[in-house]
Amino acid sequence: MADVDERGQILLIGAVVIAVIVVALSLLLTSGLHAETATRDAASDVSADQTRTLLTELRSDGTWLVQRATSAHPNDVGEQERYVQDNVTTLGEQYRRYYAHSDSAVTVEFDGIETGTTVTQSSGTLDYDTDGDGTREEDWTVASNTRVRNATVTVDGGSGATTVVFDDGDTYAVEIDAGGTVSVDRPSGTTTCTASESTFTVDLGNATVDGEACPALAFDHAIQAPYDVRIENGDQVTGSYRLTADGSATGPNTATQLYAVDLSVTHRTSRIDYEGTVSIAPEEL
């Protein structure tokens, strides 16, 4: 009888040992799978970061190219395109060589341009004779169904406030007072900045007033393209302004201008297979 009991105890102990081994193996397998997943996710994050870094660098270099092209050939969009295209070839070779050192295959190629219209005024009030009948209108539309970049207003006098309105269905109104207050009214509320000088420049693309950061102007692409651009109460301040619209626009002085450059990009490694187009429009709202 004792032998039977001993054999039963031995079988019971054996079963327990086997169960412990099975549980341990299961835990090891599960932790291994978790570790593999975590490693794979980490590698994916690193790959995404590498591509984001590449695109950030490319946007910075592309911005410089557009600005150089428009300053070197301000009145000739054909020469602007040629300048960009020639320099993108050089830029692409530089990127190819640089990224090859980290076992990455990168290509950057010119994929075309988008043309627009630059509107400028050098002095006077900001109202405008839109239909040529000799009467200047204080409320008028600069461009419709568009996007805008490189928009600045310099105020040197006046008796009230002029408003630049961006309308995408919701309105974003930048009210510029001759006294130096810049108020931005958007769907979420109204915020202001104040200039320290009597003559001051409002840079909408860089969100600054006289070179100082103005958080009220930081739209962060909240304005959804396409949108309309209007000036309201244009007779209340004097000064100058400029902006470049994607497509056609109306104003005292207009010129066809390079608006954006499109670059075709590929980035390939053992873990990355990225292909896309980057559109570069410096200081776009």
Q: Edge to edge, what strands does the sheet with 208-209 contain?
A: 212-213, 208-209, 200-203, 148-158, 237-245, 105-121, 253-268, 273-280
What is the overall mean pLDDT for the chain?
88
* Residue 216 falls inside a structural domain: no
* Residue 166 falls inside a structural domain: no
State whether residue 244 is helix, strand or coil: strand
* Residue 167 falls inside a structural domain: no
* Residue 187 falls inside a structural domain: no
* Residue 165 falls inside a structural domain: no
- CA distances 170 to 167, 207, 221, Å, are 6, 20, 13
What tokens were used for 37?
Answer: 């997943």
What tokens were used for 201?
Answer: 């420049």
State whether residue 210 is helix, strand or coil: coil
- Whole-angstrom Cα distance, residue 201 to residue 211? 8
Q: What sign for the dihedral angle of Cα 249, 250, 251, 256?
A: positive
Strand partners, 280: 261
Q: Domain range for residue 57? A: 1-158+223-285
* Residue 198 falls inside a structural domain: no
Instruction: Evaluate if residue 9 carries a pLDDT over 90.
Output: no
Q: What does the pLDDT read at residue 220?
A: 85
Residue in the structure block whose two tokens are 């102990």 = 13
Instruction: Evaluate if residue 18 carries a pLDDT over 80.
Output: no
Q: What does the pLDDT read at residue 221?
A: 85
Q: Among residues 143, 138, 156, 123, which one has the least CA distance to residue 228?
A: 143
Instruction: Evaluate if residue 267 carries a pLDDT over 60.
Output: yes
* Residue 182 falls inside a structural domain: no
pLDDT-based confidence at residue 15 (cuts at 50, 70, 90): low
State whether residue 90 is helix, strand or coil: helix
The helix (H) or strand (E) run that includes residue 213 is strand 212-213
What tokens were used for 69?
Answer: 């092209």
Instruction: Evaluate if residue 14 carries a pLDDT over 70.
Output: no
* Residue 169 falls inside a structural domain: no
43 versus 79: the higher-pLDDT residue is 79
Count of domains forming the chain? 1
Q: Among residues 57, 55, 35, which one has the least CA distance to residue 47?
A: 55
